[in-house]
Amino acid sequence: MKHLTIAAVLTIFLVLTGCDSSGGGGGTSPDENAARIIESFTCRDVDSEGRPLGITEIFDASEDDRIYVWVSWENVTNTHIAKAVWYNPSGGRELDGTEEFTSESGYHIVWFYLDPGATTSGRWEVEIWLDNEFHRSHFFVID
């Protein structure tokens, strides 16, 4: 009888605490020296000093000359290869862009662009990679 009571209490505890599917969370402590993105955006242009202009997620193929993804990195001393992989609305890989850079300060900004004039309207995705490791993606719309 004692085992039956323990099993019943354990079952009730699991039902009340462990079966909640309405949300959750988690966390981790990343390596403080690992390369990482400080911030990134999709935007309409990049100025002569490397700053993003017209930050947005909605673009007009008839008005926007280029669609940029702008990325600011930290902890990137030495030489690295950044890559942007652009996916069209049907999920097909449309374009890859790479940029090799060397940073002595540990900080670096890169940007890549897509010409929207010859593209399909819809919801696009661009993935950001560094040294063959995925770091982030952005979704954006071309009207």
Q: What is the DSSP string of 104-130?
A: SSSEEEEEEEE-GGGS--EEEEEEEEE
Mean pLDDT, the chain, rounded, equals 88
Q: Which residues contact 110 (CB under 8 A, 6 or more apart)?
A: 70, 71, 73, 82, 99, 101
pLDDT in tens, 88-114: 999 999 999 999 999 999 999 999 999
Question: Was domain 35-142 assigned CATH 2.60.120.380?
Answer: no
Spatial distance between the Cα atoms of 137 and 96, rounded to a whole number of angstroms: 14
Spatial distance between the Cα atoms of 50 and 33, rounded to a whole number of angstroms: 24
pLDDT at 100: 98
pLDDT at 17: 46
Question: Looking at the whole model, is its pTM more than 0.85?
Answer: no
Domain ranges for the chain, please list them.
35-142
Residues in the chain with pLDDT values less than 50:
1, 3-17
Torsion of CA 71, 75, 78, 81, to 10 degrees: -30
DSSP 116: G
pLDDT at 21: 65
